[in-house]
């Protein structure tokens, strides 16, 4: 039996009033109002993407002032390089950073690209998630349409200053000048100059006078070459952003990023003026542009069920076979028929009538059907030759090698892994001048001197830092900011004299589509692959779970139509199994060549030590035998020296730049893509020539080595 409770309207109102005045659970007597559905609904509203990222700017790489400056430079330079390459123009880029106040910097980046048409400028620089690269499957640096507009938004939020853009498409056409800020609630650009429409600057002398009168920054001429007069910059774009930032040298700095950018982009000329007025020009080492990647259609293996349903709704193809063959790469009409047969669907089925169940059957059939991998002309790798040249130009060493893996696929997206390695040479820490060390110490925010050394210099572990501090007679907790000039000189001398190769950790340079990745190293698939790889068989020491030790630099580049970054700030690559496999194989390829080089070098070293021991006693033996049987001592010494040379012949091994033994065509070499820079060494032939010129010299002392005798 059911009971119906009838409550009058007056009683219901009283009940609502009582419920709204209930005390909270803590018993403090304060009334707590109970939210109604209508009240909650009234509070709901749309959140624009600009508003979201304005409150969560750390997701885009603007979580601290130092990183914000680097992120803004990176986004602007990436856009400039992409624009120049798409326009078929050899890139010339100007980067200017100027301090305008305490913790305030003005950043200007200009290129000589094709320029931007007028109506697109406000949208590109004043609207998040607006661009031409998101839906296009081809290799490019930018992907999401967020970076440069987010940098402008950060500048507006921290300084209140708008983004300034000037762009021109020809010398004869007017340049377009805008001052823009983002309306974060609407994700829409607000144009502040020219009554909301921007300003058109006339060409020629009138335009140059207008630019100078209004203080608009623009590099109008290239640097002069020889006796030729300077040429005008015909087209290009310059963006200027003022922001709250911090400029600091060392690892993860703007200087470091630009230097690494030049390694992976040898076709660019880059002009850099830092906040301290120092000017640096990185000249291009090749005039050949990278091969232009082609756009491809999505591969069926990379499409998820929801995306497949959307594509079926949006397509204009009337039948299922036509839809499959026209919407996907590597799907011919014959492959489309096999997919339809596997899904038990008619090849002439109308795409508009495909329901959710049929779409699911089609999706499963695609997985079971063998389809060729997508074409790889959509990516443009750096190339092994340029990898070696770029690495040798920046990283000192004795041995260089490179390996490019064949293209592979993850989730239907083509990608290619390239690895280069440098071994040996002077540590970059020992090249730091006293003046630069003083600046780094004053700029550092590290609490201790040990922390400063480890964080400032790549590849320098805690053990090497401790050795430097012990040599300099400093405590590990010494504050960097309290060092006097005499203390800094003492530290600099210790850095020059301490053997840093022992205990030095591998330096890992990470790249994605020719762009250096500076932060979140531990979260990246590249670092993870280096850590998981066993480097001991290749002649390097390695503790469990750590980077190998030694004077080694590894450069890893991933080229792909869609790099799977772990966040919007594009600082680390996600660890898909297919990517990790290719990374491992690429690292093993250069590791094998390094192992061959180190084993051969160790054999030469051991034979050299044997020869040194022989030489130490040859004089005594020659003198004793001469005294016994009357044989001329000098002639006997020469004969014994020839025997020692023959028995330790491997000590004279010389390798050419390809790693092949000089004057020995039958000897196996390291293969292609190897450079070797061997230091000059003294051979037994040199010693024989020396002995021949000193017939009457006394026998070598017992403590004389091969090198001592040569000297």
Q: What is the mean pLDDT of residues 615-624?
A: 70
Let me know: does 495 contact 466? Beta carbons within 8 Å: no
User: 412: number of CA atoms within 13 Å, CB side?
Assistant: 18
What is the distance between the alpha carbons of residues 131 and 142, in angstroms, rounded to a whole number? 9
Q: How far is CA 137 from CA 313, 376, 383, 580, in A?
A: 21, 11, 21, 22
pLDDT in tens, 634-650: 777 777 777 766 665 55
On the question of pLDDT at 218 being above 60, the answer is yes
Three-class DSSP category at 149: helix
Mapping DSSP onto H, E and C, the string for 664-679 reads CCCCCCCCCCEEECCC
Let me know: does 451 contact 255? Beta carbons within 8 Å: no
pLDDT in tens, 62-89: 778 888 898 889 888 988 998 898 888 9
Structure confidence at residue 61 (pLDDT): 67
Structure confidence at residue 499 (pLDDT): 54
* Assigned token pair, 86: 């798409």
Beta bridge partners of 95: 109, 272
SS3 helix, strand, coil % of the chain, rounded to 5?
45, 15, 40
Residues in Cβ contact with 549 at an 8 Å cutoff, skipping those fewer than 6 apart: 461, 502, 503, 504, 505, 506, 540, 541, 542, 543
Report the percentage of the chain scoring pLDDT > 90. 12
Strands 413-423 and 236-244: unpaired
Among 24-28, 478-482, 538-542, 611-615, name the most confident range.
Answer: 538-542
Give helix 254-264 / helix 384-394 axis angle, nearest 10°: 150
Strands 92-101 and 269-273: parallel
**How many residues in the chain?**
711
Of 607, 517, 532, 612, which Cα lies nearest the Cα of 566?
517
Structure confidence at residue 213 (pLDDT): 87
What is the distance between the alpha carbons of residues 174 and 194, in angstroms, rounded to a whole number? 15
* Assigned token pair, 259: 């230097």
What is the distance between the alpha carbons of residues 534 and 313, in angstroms, rounded to a whole number? 50
Three-class DSSP category at 617: helix
User: 76: number of CA atoms within 13 Å, CB side?
Assistant: 30
Q: How far is CA 454 from CA 8, 377, 467, 531, in A?
A: 76, 42, 12, 19
Signed CA dihedral, 612, 616, 617, 619: sign only: positive
pLDDT in tens, 592-608: 999 888 888 777 666 55
Q: What is the dihedral of CA 202, 203, 208, 212, to 10 degrees?
A: 30
Give helix 485-497 / helix 462-472 axis angle, nearest 10°: 120
* Assigned token pair, 440: 């780094």
Structure confidence at residue 585 (pLDDT): 94
Longest dimension (CA), the chain: 138
Residues in Cβ contact with 661 at an 8 Å cutoff, skipping those fewer than 6 apart: 653, 654, 655, 667, 669
Residue burial 269-299, b: 16+ Cβ < 10 Å; e: rest: bbbbbbbeeeeeebebeeeeebeebeebebb
Confidence of residue 12 (pLDDT cuts 50, 70, 90): very low
What is the distance between the alpha carbons of residues 163 and 197, in angstroms, rounded to a whole number? 15
pLDDT in tens, 475-523: 767 777 778 888 888 787 777 665 555 556 788 899 988 888 888 888 8
pLDDT in tens, 276-335: 888 888 888 888 888 888 877 888 887 888 888 888 888 888 888 888 888 888 888 899
Confidence of residue 166 (pLDDT cuts 50, 70, 90): very high
Structure confidence at residue 711 (pLDDT): 30
On the question of pLDDT at 447 being above 80, the answer is no
What is the distance between the alpha carbons of residues 332 and 587, in angstroms, rounded to a whole number? 36
Residue burial 221-257, b: 16+ Cβ < 10 Å; e: rest: eeeeeeeeeeeebebbbbbbbbbbbbbbbbebbbbbb
Structure confidence at residue 31 (pLDDT): 55
Structure confidence at residue 7 (pLDDT): 45
Q: How far is CA 314 from CA 300, 323, 337, 351, 368, in A?
A: 16, 10, 21, 10, 25
Let me know: does 113 contact 168? Beta carbons within 8 Å: no
When comparing pLDDT for 458 and 565, which is higher? 565
Three-class DSSP category at 192: coil
Confidence of residue 667 (pLDDT cuts 50, 70, 90): very low
């Amino acid at each position: 039996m059911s009971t119906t409770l009838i409550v009058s309207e007056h009683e219901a109102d009283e009940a609502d009033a009582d419920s709204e005045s209930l005390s909270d659970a803590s018993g403090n007597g304060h009334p707590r109002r109970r939210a109604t559905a209508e009240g909650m609904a009234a509070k709901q509203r749309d959140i624009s993407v600009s508003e979201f990222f304005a409150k969560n700017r750390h997701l885009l790489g603007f979580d601290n002032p130092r990183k914000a400056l680097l992120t803004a430079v990176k986004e602007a330079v990436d856009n400039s390089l992409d624009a120049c390459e798409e326009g078929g123009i050899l890139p010339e880029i100007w980067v200017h950073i100027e301090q305008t106040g305490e913790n305030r910097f003005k950043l200007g980046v200009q290129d000589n690209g094709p320029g931007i048409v007028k109506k697109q400028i406000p949208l590109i620089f004043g609207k998040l998630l607006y661009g031409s690269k998101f839906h296009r499957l081809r290799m490019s640096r930018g992907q999401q349409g967020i970076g440069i507009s987010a940098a402008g938004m950060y500048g507006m939020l921290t300084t209140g200053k708008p983004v300034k853009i000037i762009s021109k498409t020809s010398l004869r056409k007017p340049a377009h000048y805008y001052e823009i800020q983002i309306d974060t609630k609407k994700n829409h650009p607000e144009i502040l100059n020219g009554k909301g429409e921007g300003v058109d600057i006339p060409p020629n002398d009138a335009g140059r006078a207008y630019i100078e009168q209004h203080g608009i920054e623009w590099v109008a001429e290239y640097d002069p070459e020889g006796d030729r007069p300077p040429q005008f910059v015909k087209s290009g774009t310059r963006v200027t952003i003022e922001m709250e930032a911090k400029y600091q040298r060392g690892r993860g700095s703007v200087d470091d990023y630009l230097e690494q950018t030049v390694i992976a982009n040898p076709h660019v000329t880059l002009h850099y003026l830092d906040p301290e007025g120092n000017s640096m020009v990185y000249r291009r080492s090749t005039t050949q542009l990278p091969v232009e990647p082609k756009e491809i259609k999505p591969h069926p293996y990379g499409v998820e069920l929801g995306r497949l349903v959307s594509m079926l709704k949006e397509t204009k193809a009337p039948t299922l076979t036509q839809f499959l063959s026209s919407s996907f790469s590597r799907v011919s009409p014959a492959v489309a028929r096999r997919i339809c047969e596997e899904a038990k669907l008619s090849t002439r089925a109308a795409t508009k009538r495909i329901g959710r169940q049929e779409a699911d059957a089609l999706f499963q059939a695609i997985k079971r059907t063998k389809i060729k991998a997508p074409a790889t002309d959509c990516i443009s790798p750096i190339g092994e030759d340029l990898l070696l040249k770029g690495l040798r130009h920046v990283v000192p060493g004795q041995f260089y090698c490179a390996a490019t893996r064949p293209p592979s696929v993850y989730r239907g997206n083509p990608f290619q892994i390239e690895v280069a390695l440098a071994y040996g040479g002077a540590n970059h820490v020992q090249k730091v001048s006293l003046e630069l060390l003083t600046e780094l110490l004053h700029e550092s925010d590290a609490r201790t001197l040990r922390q400063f050394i480890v964080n400032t210099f790549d590849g320098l572990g805690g053990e090497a830092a401790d050795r430097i501090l012990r040599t300099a007679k400093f405590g590990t907790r010494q504050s960097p900011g309290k060092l006097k000039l005499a203390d800094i000189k003492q530290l600099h001398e210790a850095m020059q004299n301490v053997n840093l190769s022992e205990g030095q950790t591998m330096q890992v340079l990470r790249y994605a589509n020719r762009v250096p990745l500076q932060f979140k190293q531990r979260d990246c698939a590249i670092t993870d692959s280096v850590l998981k790889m066993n480097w001991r068989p290749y002649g390097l020491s390695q503790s469990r779970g750590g980077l190998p030790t030694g004077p080694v630099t590894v450069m890893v580049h991933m080229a792909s139509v869609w790099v799977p970054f772990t966040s919007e700030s594009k600082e680390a690559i996600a660890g898909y199994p297919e990517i990790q496999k290719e990374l491992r194989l690429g690292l093993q390829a250069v590791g094998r060549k390094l192992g061959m080089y180190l084993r051969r070098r160790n054999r030469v070293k051991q034979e050299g030590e044997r020869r040194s021991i022989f030489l130490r006693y040859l004089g005594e033996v020659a003198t004793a035998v001469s005294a016994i049987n009357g044989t001329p001592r000098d002639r006997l010494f020469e004969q014994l020296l020839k025997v020692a040379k023959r028995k330790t012949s491997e000590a004279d091994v010389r390798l050419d730049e390809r790693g092949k033994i000089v004057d020995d065509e039958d000897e196996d070499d390291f293969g292609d893509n190897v450079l070797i820079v061997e230091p000059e060494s003294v051979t037994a032939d040199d010693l024989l020539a020396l002995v021949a010129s000193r017939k009457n010299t006394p026998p070598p002392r017992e403590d004389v080595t091969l090198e001592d005798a040569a000297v």
